[in-house]
Structure 1
């Protein structure tokens, strides 16, 4: 194929790269290789309150691909407590795709090929992250030609289990992964629950007092906090830790495992 072929202004080679939950040592060799082939990276940024989150990703780029162009894009605002949750997420995702499209339009166009554009995803792109949906929505727009590649990453679920030195499941038994918003629907099953995205601390109402909670926040970062014990004993400690991180660091990314106190 000729190296000077005509390339559409809206043709891109998109790499969605899992970079782990925050520890720069938990990025995979595959992810490093992918980062080094990028022409540029789009970082959706939530503002000064989460500046340290942005620095964690730019530090990765400084270490592994210092010459890569970085476009920081303001993440559109989102209503965290809407009446219609699904509709609000759809609206927010559409606004994010608009912002990404505008950023891609600003990328320099290499001669004879599409630009290689990266998206650095916390944890793994397949688990409670919207980046792949956004890239797919971009690809579905008229006039766009997007080739998508995905690089898996260390998940916060596996990082949580490692930090607490526990297994995520018990012998021959399942583990259910859910969100705080949906925990009340499955907490009564008696199975182990890994819970993500629980800013409202749903475990207070859904868990039994003697259930064990293995909680972790900002895993792998210098601000990592780990708490474990019966829910009744440590719930207030978790609330205090969340408040401290929010005040001191500006953001909280937490996850926990709930476990009934019966035999393995």
Structure 2
């Protein structure tokens, strides 16, 4: 193994890729691009568009992403999935035998609610890692709505949809940002005094935004999300909620 570069590419807009990211894409000898199955070809197409826009010159190797085993408990399911992804990376890299750095394009930022770093740690020998930061979904969300991430002197709790469903609103939190929520977990909350800012396909031409008091906006967002997912075959979305002081 030579070097493995994990390059944050933002939320789907080629303009989100930083100058450092563009240089890294041009300098990589091999670029791994995942295929995520039927109905999600446009995710790979977006990666290829970013590579063309950046002027990438290295070889591009596509690989099929494995499917999670839903019969396993959640944590076991994730560990097994990561093990299988790492094994695929290793096979592709060995077969390509690149003479230079290997790059992976990572949605958003490799360090925020993304498992690419954990998967890379499974490779043997452990590669020399370089991480290029990218624009996160939370940055894209607040920019799209033209709102600050936090109130003056206030803290923001960032959690997953699963934790919101299992444990409810984090105790004492004024603002809550939710990642990786495939089930509109905000619908399980007491909406009193809560405002929600939601966005899907952030930074892309298909971007959808909505905000309002949770009691009124929540059901509408759930319907919009279902319709968008049916139309595209997939969806990436996130949201920020804030309680009135």
Assess same fold via TM > 0.5. Answer: yes
Pairing 1:179–2:179 present:
no
Q: Give how far 1:210 is off.
A: 3.5
Pairing 1:98–2:83 present:
no
Q: Distance in 2 between matches of 1:162 and 1:27?
A: 16
Matches within 5 A, 1:16-95: 16-79=6-69, 84-95=73-84
**Pair member with larger Rg:** 1
SS in structure 1 at match of 2:63: strand
**Alpha carbons 1:12, 1:145 under 8 Å: kept:** no
Q: Distance in 2 between matches of 1:234 and 1:99?
A: 42
Pairing 1:200–2:183 present:
yes
After TM superposition, the score normalised by the length of structure 1 is 0.87
Q: Distance in 2 between matches of 1:79 and 1:203?
A: 26
Give the root-mean-square deviation of aligned CA atoms.
Answer: 1.6
Runs of 4+ aligned residues of structure 1 deviating over 3 Å after TM superposition are none
Q: Which consecutive unaligned segments of at least 5 residues does structure 1 have?
A: 1-10
Q: Give how far 1:186 is off.
A: 5.6
Q: Distance in 1 between matches of 2:158 and 2:98?
A: 41
**Alpha carbons 2:28, 2:57 under 8 Å: kept:** no
Q: Distance in 1 between matches of 2:114 and 2:146?
A: 25
Pairing 1:124–2:109 present:
yes
Q: Give how far 1:168 is off.
A: 0.7
Aligned to 1:135: 120
In 2 relative to 1, CA 83–238 (structure 1 residues): closer, same or farther, beyond 3 Å?
farther
Count of paired positions: 243
Q: 1:258 aligns with which of 221, 225, 241?
A: 241
